[in-house]
Amino acid sequence: MEDAMNIGQAARATGISAKMIRYYEDNGLIGPVARTASGYRVYGPRDIHALGFIKRSRDMGFSVERIAGLLQLWRDRSRHSADVKRMALEHVAVLQQRIAELQDMVGTVQALADCCAGDERPDCPILSDIATGAPLHRPAAKGVAQGKRGRMRAGQKRVNND
């Protein structure tokens, strides 16, 4: 095999650690690779290409399970692009949900930090909130309007109906 690589070379070529390459092989994302007489893995161009596909998919946040589905579609020359698009749009929904959750976390942590004096006193609302799990009531900031989740968005003004 002229273009064959050992696992270390494959790891360097793809940017995937040797441990993760073995994990992907163990989980069926790449087929059983060829082995030398002494049992070392040998990766050919097709294996390296598949590992690149896996890495790019992981970089986009796809789960290992979803990557398995994408690989199956990629290898199926009679696939329907509608199937690929459906998977992509499902993933977009997952990413949007994660973004919303992260935005909520940012709002909570920022509100806690805003309530903390940050001085030499031992009282800390951040630690108290984490310890009790009690939700913090976040008052709206001046000059900022509330978004869909009740958070204020920068650049929007609060309307005072008093």
**b/e string for 32-68 if b means 16 or more Cβ within 10 A?**
ebeeeeeeebbbbeebbebbebbbebbeeebeeebbb
CB atoms closer than 10 angstroms to residue 16: 19
- Determine the pLDDT at residue 3: 84
Kindly report, residue by residue over 80-97, the tens digit of the pLDDT. Answer: 999 999 999 999 999 999
Task: Check pLDDT > 90 for residue 135.
Answer: no
Looking at residues 85-112, what average pLDDT do you find? 96
Kindly report, residue by residue over 18-77, the tens digit of the pLDDT. Answer: 999 999 999 999 988 999 999 999 999 999 999 999 999 999 999 999 999 999 999 999
